[in-house]
Amino acid sequence: MLPPDYHMHTHLCHHAEGVPMDLARQASEMGIREIGVSEHNPMPSDDFDQWRMYRSKLGEYLANLEEARRAFPNVTLRAALEVDYLPGYEEWIRELASMHDWDYFIGSVHYIDGGWDIDNPNRLEEWRARDVYDVWAAYFDRLTAAAASGLFQIIGHADLPKKFCFVPQRDCTSLFTRFLEAAAGSGTAIEINTAGLRKECREMYPSPPFLRLAKAKGIELTFGSDAHRPGEVGMNFPEAIALARSVGYTHSVRFERRQRTRVPLP
Ligand code: ZN
Ligand code: FE
Ligand code: FE
Ligand code: ZN
């Protein structure tokens, strides 16, 4: 038995494959009994960037989820979004939240100041041009604000800046701690995101020392494959559970209409 997979995408974001039905089928075949589809959120204007669902597709997204629920009644399907946190967008995020009875929002930071999406493989020249620690600090400033905002149930891939192996020489513990204290204050969970294993960093998000700190601060946990193809659903979950256990976690959490319940790890 595997825990719920709470982070995955569909074709509606223009850089992933499959519909919720395909994701539910894969989960069903793997013995995963609960998934949450968390498409990249629409922005007020569809020309914000090229890698998210259009505003006009929200209805189709929800209809696709409903169709998957009917086809795979053995899989519980949660309706979610992975929402970009940018300062100044709080009102928009509240508006999104009011558009449906969502089970949860994953708050993610991809953009830091200057409109740079730090995980974009087409923008590696930015990494080479900047001081690596400054980028991490700017990212964690934003992630800390996201955690403090209370707009999200879960914070996504918390140490995303390591993706392309640009890791500062300087110790980042104080950045992690400040973020985790904000998450503890608002009761926001984090996820173990196994997609990092499929990137240059070859490591789940967050790192073991980061996750150990999270456990010490009492932060709750979910699991996410960040699947961008149906075949990635539940990927590397045994390793993710082992990582959670290795730092002392005994439970993960589920969300239904933003209400959290704790469940023992398998
Ligand atoms: Zn994506
Ligand atoms: Fe993301
Ligand atoms: Fe994602
Ligand atoms: Zn993601």
Question: Which domains are delineated in the chain?
Answer: 11-264 (3.20.20.140)
pLDDT of residue 107: 99
- Span from the CA of 48 to the centroid of ligand 3 (angstroms): 17
Question: Backbone dihedral region of 141: left (phi > 0), alpha (psi from -120 to 50 degrees) or beta?
Answer: alpha
The pTM of this model reads: 0.98
- Rounded to 10 degrees, the C-alpha dihedral 105/110/113/116 comes to -150
Q: In this structure, what DSSP letter does residue 92 have?
A: H
Distance 40 CA to ligand 3 centre (A): 7
Which pLDDT value is given to residue 113?
A: 87
- What's the gap in Å between 156 CA and the centre of ligand 2? 7
Distance (angstroms) between ligand 4 centre and the Cα of 161 equals 12
Tell me the residue type at 26. Answer: Q
Number of H helices, E strands in the chain: 8, 10
**Cα(224) to centroid(ligand 1), Å:** 13
Q: How far apart are CA 52 and CA 196, in angstroms?
A: 20
Ligand nearest the Cα atom of residue 118? 2
Per-residue pLDDT of the chain (266 residues; tens, 9 = 90+): 899 999 999 999 999 999 999 999 999 999 999 999 999 999 999 999 999 999 999 999 999 999 999 999 999 999 999 999 999 999 999 999 999 999 999 999 999 988 999 999 999 999 999 999 999 999 999 999 999 999 999 999 999 999 999 999 999 999 999 999 999 999 999 999 999 999 999 999 999 999 999 999 999 999 999 999 999 999 999 999 999 999 999 999 999 999 999 999 99
Three-class SS state of 67 = helix
Nearest ligand to the CA atom of 80: 3
| 66 Cα to the center of ligand 4, angstroms | 23
Burial, 97: exposed, middle or buried (Cβ in 10 Å; 0-12, 13-18, 19+)?
Answer: middle
Q: Compute, in angstroms, the gap from residue 9 CA to the centroid of ligand 1.
A: 7
- State which H helix or E strand residue 136 sits in: helix 132-149
